[in-house]
Amino acid sequence: MNRIALLLGILLVSIPGDGRGADQLLWGDTHLHTSNSFDAFLNQNKSADPNTAYLYAKGAPVIHPGNRARVRIGTPLDFLVVADHAEFYGAMRHSVQRGIPTDDLDAWDALMASLSERALRFVSEWDYGREFFAALLPKPGLTPEEVAANPPSYPMPVADGMVRTMWEEATRIADEHDDPGTFTTLIGWEWSSIPAGANLHRVIFTSANADTASQWVPYSSIDSMYPEDLWAWLEETTERTGAQFVSIPHNSNISKGRMFPEKSLRGEPFTEEAARTRMKWETVVEATQFKGDSETHPDLSPNDEFADFELYPYYIQNDPPPYEAKRGDYVRTALMRGLAIEEKIGFNPYQFGLIGSTDSHTGIASAEEDNFWGKFPRDSTPETKDRVLRAGRGPSGWSMSASGLAAVWADANTRDDILEAFRRREVYATTGPRLAIRVFGGWDFDADDLVGDPAAAGYARGVPMGGELSRAPSGRAPRFLVQALKDARGAHLDRIQIVKGWVDERGDTHEHVYDVAGGGARSRRPDGTLSPVGNTVDLVTARYTNDIGAAELSAVWEDPDFDPERKAFYYVRVLEIPTPRHSLMDAIALGRDPNDVEGPPTLQERAYTSPIWYRPS
């Protein structure tokens, strides 16, 4: 493969109308929390506000809100969504740092406001935030369906006014940092529905500016816990203001099967209209982040030797039940479920692309293993990693994953272009490394297309990630043109895999993982899979070498098991060689045995592309 051609394809800015497709590879985080999120503020983030978040993402040194060290990102981002929780947006911080406004309150409400302000300041000053947060979490005993139908109320004096004040400030700061062509800020928030501990959270972002965004306040789970109500609000707000939105589900891995269900939380089966509504707003899913990986699980994909990556068995609730991986929790099974639903109603509600992002609550987008600054300020140093992040049984800093990033193939680094890339699903997820990946599906690719300008061949005679292939030409199977280039500052590549899912004539779903390219002199096992690449990590120094694997991999792969009558999807998974996990580095620094802390000492960082779908007609 011509490496110069690949690098040029990554770096060149596209010329509108040139027919080449998207030529800019942009890196960003669509899921970052600052001190405006109530749980971040309660967990010691009192200083890293949206301005801090943008400065860090752009490459400036900032002060960490917990340990007060000067920190800096290794490589700046191209775009960022500050996605603070809509629930009490900024009101906790406003109450403690500025006070609760009482000018328009009667005597009783003013007294209640004063008492609430004092209580919140006491919680903040004496660091009872973890216990206060636990009191807000779902209690055991009810089902998600019961809680969603009868949601609890969380009164806070004059919260609406504080929320509007903090929202308008945050949107103005976003506009001030937006620099089209250089660094893009996308205004957003998080809708944090979690009935009975079933995580249904979504990040919503818009291409609109602050003037337009000031026409609403973020829709929250206090307004409704039902995703359908969120989508209805997005529809109404788009019609009223002209703003365009994308809604991104995340942490499906802890949704208790409700993120990608066969029936809605109201118990209603999918109709074609309901499926179309979901896909209008949710074209992309967050597949990896700090709270674990949501691609698949060993219980669901027992024949996938790499399915045990960054598992996270912690529900967000008090006294949680034992973790159980369900088909509605994971990306791969959801993609297969979507095919099966389409067989019944004629439309696929789960035809989504994949991205990664951090879900950091420190205001610091740290997805690098050797520059990882924790989920919250309270777990941001080696010595504080043992702290359980919620009162009672729950995760610690060791269990957090230093992940992920959103990779976007776009025409330009602007709000409109990035949102459009999300809509057409020409995006992919990585767990942190900046792997440059192209994948195209078509019918007549060959090895010559890997030379020169592969993207030109891909766009001219195929479809990119996120696209669709229609009826197969007689006697042909789909071919996939795939390229992967290592992170310039990172590890070599182990292998390229293609994950296929399909539905058979009975409506049953199936999956298969194919090894299509591997780095180094590798043998294949009898089943066609590649032998292990090896491991160069020194468990004493937490260093590794690039003596194994390859700097770049490419392939033209044809599906050997293709049935032209059956719907299918294909996505690419690229694995790095083993490298040190943050838990190994911190255990060594503390003089502890790496086997005595949660999390493996090494991991294989990876990327997941958005799928390409095949339809018989």
Cβ atoms 535, 602 nearer than 8 A:
yes
Structure tokens at 378: 């309270």
Confidence of residue 22 (pLDDT cuts 50, 70, 90): confident
Pick the closest to residue 351 from 38, 570, 100 (CA basis): 570
Q: Render pLDDT for 480-534 as a digit per residue (tens, 0 to 9).
A: 999 999 999 999 999 999 999 999 999 999 999 999 999 988 889 999 999 999 9
What is the reported pLDDT for 215? 98
Residue 5 has pLDDT above 80, yes or no: no
| Residue 507, number of CB atoms within 10 A of its CB | 11
Query: What does the pLDDT read at residue 489?
Result: 95
Distant-in-sequence, close-in-space partners of 112: CB < 8 Å, separation ≥ 6? 157
pLDDT grade for 14, boundaries at 50, 70 and 90:
very low
Average pLDDT over residues 244-258: 98
Residue 19 clears pLDDT 70, i.e. is over it: no
User: What is the per-residue pLDDT for 469?
Assistant: 96
Q: What percent of the chain has pLDDT over 70?
A: 95
CA distance 410 to 16: 11
The C-alpha angle with vertex 475 and arms to 473 and 476, in degrees rounded to 5, equals 60
- Residue 8 confidence (pLDDT) above 60: no
* Amino acid (1-letter code) at residue 476: R
Please name which of 95, 135, 87 lies closest in space to residue 119, comparing C-alpha atoms. 95
Residue 17 has pLDDT above 50, yes or no: no
Model pLDDT for residues 190-244, shown as the tens digit of each residue: 999 999 999 999 999 999 999 999 999 999 999 999 999 999 999 999 999 999 9
Amino acid symbol at 314 = Y
Contact 395, 312 (CB under 8 A): yes
How confident is the model at residue 134, as a pLDDT?
76
Percent of residues, the chain, with pLDDT higher than 90: 83
pLDDT digits (tens, 9 = 90+) for 135-164: 777 777 889 999 999 887 766 766 889 999
Q: Do residues 517 and 482 touch, judged by C-beta distance below 8 A? A: yes
Instruction: Yes or no: say if 293 and 310 are a contact pair by the CB < 8 Å rule.
Output: yes
Q: What is the pLDDT of residue 53?
A: 98
Would you state the pLDDT for residue 392? 55
Average pLDDT over residues 330-334: 98
Domain assignments of the chain as residue spans, ordered by start: 3-432, 436-617
Burial of 207 (0-12, 13-18, 19+ CB in 10 A): buried
* Helix axes of 227-241 and 272-281: crossing angle, nearest 10 degrees: 60
Give pLDDT, residue 136: 74
CA gap 6, 430 in Å, rounded: 19
Q: Using pLDDT thresholds of 50, 70 and 90, give the confidence band for residue 20.
A: low
pLDDT recorded at residue 256: 97
Mean pLDDT confidence for 238-259: 98
Tell me the pLDDT band of 10, cut-offs 50, 70 and 90. Answer: very low
Tens of pLDDT, residues 443-474 = 999 999 999 889 999 999 999 999 999 988 88
Examine the pLDDT at 4 and tell me if it is beyond 60. no
Instruction: Centre a 10 Å sphere on the Cβ of residue 590 and count the other Cβ atoms it contains.
Output: 15
The better pLDDT of the pair 380, 131 is held by: 380
The confidence score (pLDDT) of residue 153 equals 74
What pLDDT, on the 0 to 100 scale, is given for residue 356? 98
158: left (phi over 0), alpha (psi -120 to 50) or beta: left
**514 strand-pairing partners:** 498
At residue 389, the pLDDT reads 67
Mean pLDDT of the chain: 93
Q: Is the per-residue pLDDT at 390 higher than 70?
A: no
Token pair for 266:
């109201």
CA distances from 481 to 285, 423, 442, 443, 550 (A): 24, 22, 8, 10, 18
Looking at residue 13, what is its pLDDT?
Answer: 30
In DSSP terms, which residues pair with 70 in a beta bridge?
63
Residue 16 has pLDDT above 50, yes or no: no
What pLDDT digit, counting tens, does each position of 67-120 carry?
999 999 999 999 999 999 999 999 999 999 999 998 888 888 888 888 888 988
